[in-house]
Structure 1
Amino acid sequence: MAFNTGLSGLRAASVDLDVTGNNIANASTVGFKGSDVQFGDLYASGFLSAGSNPIGDGVRAQDVKQSFSQGNVSFTDNGLDMAISGDGFFILSNGGEIRYSRAGQFGIDKDGFVVNSQSMRVQGYTADDDGNLSGIRGDLQIETDNLAPHRTTNLVSDLNLDSRETVLETRVRDVGPLTYSDIENEIFDVSYNDGTPDYNVDLTTAADGTPITTARQAAAAINDAPGLSASATTTATTPITDAYITAAGAADFTFSLSINGSPLTVDTSNITSLQDLVDSINNSSETSISASIVDDGAGNDVLRVIHNQGDTLEYTYGDASGSVGPTTVQGDVSITGERVVAGLTEVPVGGDDDIVAAYAASPIRITNEFNPIDQRTYNHATSTTIYDSLGNPHEFTQFFVKEPSPGGGVGVSEWSIYLQIDGEMVGGTDVTPYTARFDESGNLQSINGDASGEIVITDWTPKDEAGLPNGADGPPAVGATVVTPIPEPPTTSAFVLNLSETTQYGAAFGVNDQQQNGYTTGRLSGLDVSDTGVIFARYTNGQSKALGQVALAAFSNTNGLSPVGDTTWVETFESGQPIIGSPDTGTLGSIEASSVEESNVDLSQELVNLIIAQRNYQANAKTIETSDAVTQTIINLR
């Protein structure tokens, strides 16, 4: 009996050595769970009762139980490595067989599936093309295709317009372009409504005392008036036609041009057409001269020559039969003002009362009429990038102009809004701007009477750098109804500008937030995993999209799982069916990305256990040796 007892001890000690050695061997195995041997003693017993003086019959290994305690979490440089902090197992598909593991060393195979080093596919919840997670569980797959572009359909601008800004409009009476013959030998009395003394403009004599004889001198005299500016041009429209030049012949046609009596060198050799003459004049050394072909009002193309500084032009032309001319031409004078001018009247010397009537009928003109390239004509501006259906970027600019407050400025303020894309006005603001109205608290009341604060842009045609349509979706058809928000998928270039959060406070202009939902195409640049196991793809266009979510499984009896190698377990009857869900929900643990869970083996403890198992083995062997010695003694009796 002692032999059997010692032998059972040897077997038990051997099992203990095997388990301890396995623990030590897997001390660096990711996701490994250490095991302990549970021993039970053996006693002989009858069918109905045990002996009154039972003697133990040895020992046996009842169970090898794994410890599923949490292992240490260490960081890695692989974005798809995952560690479970808490309860749960990764779900793996091994060719259709479902296994469970705590080892989260994952990568991507050639087909884009998330797999472990044994090519088992990770199970999780899949996502649709827009990144919306579903409740359908399957193999997680990383799509490496380019992210398709998305056109801008909604732009939200959160701005503050400075209520302290002043109204920029200045209104003047524009006397418009006048011929020099209309104003020569006249004296004008310019009066202002801001208290500035009247100013007399003498168009008979220049400041140096010489007589004014040219449009250029007249413009200089007008420029001396405070707040007025004038420019002069001299235009000579000749009766020269193609027919005349053809009839004269290239050898006989003659033409000459002078400025203030100084001849201008013009090469008229081999002139066979009116266009040849235009080119010859434009190629001369005098850059202030330009020539073109115009209609004389009777359907004839004739020559027009312009001197852009208002000096006297003289020209002659002819053929072998003789010259025509010379003809002296004095040009037009244009008068504009940058100040408020109450009126512009004249004291006629020659009694020409028609001039006074012409001035009185002149239209009112806004000198700082909105001009996107002139910063003096608007108070604030902000730009952002939007995208068309092909993913091409375009610059969208909003301009804000302070307007006089309606109702005397009590309790309400108004701003005009102009919109521009790539330098072209949109939203109809090239004709009529939008009007934003604010209440006494600085909050937006409405835009063109609409309390939603939305502006729908329906007239934008995306263009390329050459100003031609680039092939992207254009505006909706004329008369088509555009609803907001723009439904998906969009089919036109229409988009919504939302200014509902815009304010008008007594603070500096500022863009608090500006968000739009469009983007250009992008390539996959990296992957991120959240603590809930959602795998996000990062793209070169700054966008990210959910590709799926890792699923975890928990069991009522974790120790009932059966280890099958490769640091995996399978479900058994004793473990119960798995409870599957998303990480960090219920009793399931959370995910730590770029991390792995190390083996939970305590190497120091295992080395001590190894010594104990060795002692146990040696002691049981000694039992057998002693029993052998006793038996030998009995055999040697005589």
Structure 2
Amino acid sequence: MAFNTGLSGLRAASVDLEVTGNNIANASTVGFKGSRVQFGDLYASGFLSSGSNPIGDGVRVQDVAQSFGQGNISFTDNGLDMAISGDGFFILNNGGEIRYSRAGQFTIDKNGFVINNQNMKVQGYTADDDGNLSGIRGDLQIQTDNLAPRRTTNLTSSLNLDSRESVLERRIRDFAPIGIGSLRGEGFSFSYSDGSTDYSVPAIDANASARDAAAAINAAPGVTATATTSAVLDGGLDDNFVSTAGDFRLELQVNNSGAIPLDLSNVSSLDDVAKAINATSDNAISASVVDHDDDPLTPERLRVIHSGGDKLDIAYGDAAAGALPAPTTFEGEVLVTTDRNVSQATSDAGTTNFVDTFDATPFTVTNEFNPIDQRTYNHATSTTIYDSLGNDHKLTQFYVKEPSPGNGVGQSQWSVYLQIDGELVGGTDQTPYTATFDQDGELQSVNGDPNGEIIITDWTPKDPSGDPNGADGPPADPDSVVSPIPEPATSSAFVLNLADTTQYGAAFGVNDQRQNGYTTGRLSGLDVSGEGVIFARYTNGQSKSLGQVALGAFSNTDGLSPVGDTTWVETFESGQPVIGAPDTGTLGSIEASSVEESNVDLSAELVNLIIAQRNYQANAKTIETSDAVTQTIINLR
């Protein structure tokens, strides 16, 4: 009996030594789970009773159980190495056999499949060509093809336009000259688009000069009036008359104030007469020689101009002929210009040229927007967009502050110009878009669209030489383009969204600018997220999900059967696995570029080794002692 008891102890201690030695041998094995021996005592027992004085029959190994506790996580330089932080196993396809492992040392084979060191393929959820993950589980495969280009169909700009900026662009209505005779006795009223109070010009005096009329009209806000008097002397006054006359004379009076002294003693041509007039002390008067009606066959004529619009009386002739003829009277005319704030002009007593043509007179921009002249716009920002071939193009947005609509309270307006590769698009070469902001600086609309969207339908992608580059061009029917642009896109049309643009009293700034296009990209690296999603990084700065690692968990992890290579297989005792994505349910998360180390505590195992050795020696002593007792009995004879 004692021999059997000691022998069972030797066997148990030997198993303990083997398990401890196996743990020590795998102390550096990634994903290894240490085992421990579970012992049970042995007693003789009958059918109904174990006896009154039971004596044990020794010990037996009941089980060798593995400890599935978390091992330490260490970082590596392999982007595809993965460690599970929490519950779960990697699912591996070993030629059709499904195995489970905590060892996440993965690489890629020649066909792009993610495998472990034993060429077992990692299982996960596959992704489509656009990177959308599906619920279909299969072998994870990394596609190394180039990422095809994507055209820009949406551009979102979040800007702040400085509300403190001044209005740069000046638009005016410039009317035809009006003779003073048409203005005398007239009164005028001007209305304003910004809600300012109408301004009334009193009736022009019946004896007023053009200078007086211009001064009265010029007093109206937003109205500029200037007067000038131009006298072209016809009626035989030419070089021949001046040179052949015995004593050429010319008298010039301004507003009947007396003849202006002129030195005509040595004149022999109209040019000499013009020089004599220009030499007077009255700087408002000037003279020049012109072709009548710009006809080179017509004799030259003398033109005298009074820049202030005063009345001119001019008489000329030959002194030898006696008294000069009666003077010819020339009265001035008024030039009227109104800016864009003047919405209407009316005449009190009758009609005048500029009132009659007010609505029909187009605006003239005196400092028209010019993308190469930064003085003609307040702000500008550029971003890169892409055509259907993946070629990059520079889109520049220009913002020009406009006068406030209405009465200037509660609203602000900006003009928006768009340029791609130096060419204005979106029709802004003719008419810019108008962005309207409320009293809080929030965008109200762009051309009446409360969503703040601009749809560009007239862009033709071109190469550096300015010729179409073969990419998709404008849509055949621009009116059919809607936002958002459906996929796949079939034209160069895209949407510019300014909904998040503001107008605050702060410096201009680009808060965010995003577009959905990109050029061709080559695979440059792989990243793994905490959810086990494998992302491909491309040289064009884009990334795309290629798949997601799947994890499996068991109700009874201890029921798994180890089959080597740091893997386990499902058994009846373990139950069927619950499979899902990492970091969902009870499944753990993924640590990328990391591995889970063995959970073996080497110090504890060395102590266990000593204990197993002691147990082995003690059981051997039991056998030795039993042998000595037996030998004593034999020696009694």
TM-score category of the 2 structures, normalised to the smaller one: 0.7 to 0.9
Q: Which amino acid aligns with 1:16?
A: D
The within-5 A match list for 1:116-155 is: 116-155=116-155
1:14 deviates by 0.7
Change (3 A) 1:511 1:344: farther
2-structure distance, mates of 1:148, 1:348: 82
Change (3 A) 1:372 1:624: same
What does residue 440 of structure 1 align with?
439
What does residue 567 of structure 1 align with?
566
Check conservation: 2:131, 2:545, Cα contact below 8 A. Answer: yes
Deviation per residue, 1:102-134 (Å, 9 max, x gap): 111111111111111111111111111111111
2-structure distance, mates of 1:76, 1:18: 31
Instruction: State yes or no: 1:588 paired with 2:587.
Output: yes
1:201 deviates by 12
1-structure distance, mates of 2:362, 2:175: 8
2-structure distance, mates of 1:343, 1:539: 72
Change (3 A) 1:354 1:479: farther
Q: Which amino acid aligns with 1:566?
A: D
1-structure distance, mates of 2:312, 2:61: 129
Change (3 A) 1:501 1:172: closer
The within-5 A match list for 1:526-605 is: 526-605=525-604
Give 3-state SS (helix, strand or coil) of 1:407's partner: coil
Give 3-state SS (helix, strand or coil) of 1:138's partner: strand
1:621 deviates by 1.5
Change (3 A) 1:78 1:344: farther
What does residue 179 of structure 1 align with?
none
1:556 deviates by 0.6
Deviation per residue, 1:583-634 (Å, 9 max, x gap): 1111111111111111111111111111111111111112222222222222
Instruction: State yes or no: 1:452 paired with 2:463.
Output: no
Deviation per residue, 1:110-160 (Å, 9 max, x gap): 111111111111111111111111111111111111111111111111112
What does residue 624 of structure 1 align with?
623
2-structure distance, mates of 1:435, 1:212: 55
What does residue 56 of structure 1 align with?
56
Check conservation: 2:152, 2:516, Cα contact below 8 A. Answer: yes
Change (3 A) 1:421 1:40: same
Give 3-state SS (helix, strand or coil) of 1:405's partner: coil
Change (3 A) 1:133 1:469: same
2-structure distance, mates of 1:127, 1:352: 92
Q: Which amino acid aligns with 1:366?
A: V
1:434 deviates by 1.1
2-structure distance, mates of 1:212, 1:531: 95
1:370 deviates by 1.0
Change (3 A) 1:173 1:507: same
Deviation per residue, 1:367-416 (Å, 9 max, x gap): 21111111111111111111111111111111111122222323222211
Instruction: State yes or no: 1:106 paired with 2:85.
Output: no
1-structure distance, mates of 2:402, 2:545: 47
Change (3 A) 1:197 1:93: closer
Instruction: State yes or no: 1:45 paired with 2:45.
Output: yes
Q: Which amino acid aligns with 1:547?
A: L
Structure 2: state its 5+ residue gaps.
177-209, 233-261, 285-295, 301-306, 316-327, 337-352, 355-360
1:357 deviates by 11
Q: Which amino acid aligns with 2:167?
A: V
What does residue 74 of structure 2 align with?
74
The within-5 A match list for 1:455-466 is: 455-466=454-465
Check conservation: 1:345, 1:356, Cα contact below 8 A. Answer: no
Check conservation: 1:203, 1:212, Cα contact below 8 A. Answer: no
Among all aligned residue pairs of Structure 1 and Structure 2, give the percentage whose two residues are the same amino acid: 78
2-structure distance, mates of 1:565, 1:344: 110
Q: Which amino acid aligns with 1:588?
A: L
Q: Which sits farther off after the overlay, 570-579 or 521-530?
A: 521-530
Q: Which amino acid aligns with 2:165?
A: E
Instruction: State yes or no: 1:410 paired with 2:409.
Output: yes
What does residue 370 of structure 1 align with?
369
Q: Which amino acid aligns with 1:132?
A: N
Total equivalences in the alignment: 507
The within-5 A match list for 1:296-375 is: 365-375=364-374
Give 3-state SS (helix, strand or coil) of 2:636's partner: coil
Check conservation: 2:382, 2:395, Cα contact below 8 A. Answer: yes
Instruction: State yes or no: 1:164 paired with 2:164.
Output: yes
Q: Which amino acid aligns with 1:18?
A: E
Task: Tell which structure's C-alpha radius of gyration is larger.
Answer: 2
Check conservation: 2:563, 2:569, Cα contact below 8 A. Answer: yes
1-structure distance, mates of 2:56, 2:477: 100
2-structure distance, mates of 1:493, 1:47: 92
1:173 deviates by 8.3
1:508 deviates by 1.8
1:97 deviates by 0.6
Q: Which sits farther off after the overlay, 412-421 or 401-410?
A: 401-410
1-structure distance, mates of 2:270, 2:469: 56
1-structure distance, mates of 2:68, 2:165: 70
Q: Which amino acid aligns with 2:12?
A: A
2-structure distance, mates of 1:364, 1:612: 103
TM-score where L is the length of structure 1: 0.72
1:505 deviates by 1.9
